Amino acid sequence: MNADDLPTPDAEADAVSPTDLKAQIDAGDDVTILDVRMQSDYDEWHIDDDNVTSINLPYFQFLDDDIDDDVLDQIPDDEELVVLCAKGGSSEFVAGTLVDLGYDALTLEDGM
């Protein structure tokens, strides 16, 4: 699925560059990442560090108009999230959807 196949959320999320995200992690800043790739891709490789909280929820869980509360309960609503995927399209969609729901979400530019 590419970005053109995804519905468009009402809100648009700001983007963070990979360089800026790495700098935040290297500086020891607490970073919460929502990785929306498939679990098999996440299990193979994901961003991890002592100061990184990493959550894996595949993007298709955000495609329904009424997102399941069990999905939203796994996402902290009191801190900034960086949403990422393989190429950037799915994370842009999910981050915009979360912004629309009141979350503080950014998307990682161009994905992993």
Tell whether 60 is covered by a domain: yes
Q: Considering the domain boundaries, does residue 2 fall inside one?
A: no
Predicted confidence (pLDDT) at residue 6 exceeds the cutoff of 70: no
Would you say the pTM of this structure is higher than 0.85? yes
- What's the Cα-to-Cα distance from 56 to each of 10, 21, 35, 51, rounded to whole Å? 23, 18, 5, 16
- Measure the CA dihedral 87/89/90/92, to 10°: 120
pLDDT in tens, 15-70: 999 999 999 999 999 999 999 999 999 999 999 999 999 999 999 999 887 899 99
| 70-112 per-position pLDDT tens digit | 999 999 999 999 999 999 889 999 999 999 999 999 999 988 8
Q: Which of 33, 36, 84, 85 is catalytic?
A: 85
Contacts of 102 (CB under 8 A, 6+ apart): 77
pLDDT of residue 112: 81
Q: What is the DSSP string of 34-81?
A: EE-S-HHHHHH-----TTEEEEE--GGGG-SSS--HHHHTTS-SSS-E
Instruction: Please indicate, yes or no, if residue 36 is contained in any of the structural domains.
Output: yes
Q: What integer pLDDT is reported at residue 4 of this predicted model?
A: 54
The answer to whether residue 1 sits within a structural domain is: no
Residue that wins the pLDDT comparison between 21 and 9: 21
Q: Which residue range is the domain that position 20 belongs to?
A: 11-108
Active site residue 13: no
- The pLDDT value recorded for residue 5 is 65
| Number of domains the chain contains | 1
Question: What's the confidence (pLDDT) of residue 9?
Answer: 74
| CATH code at position 18 | 3.40.250.10
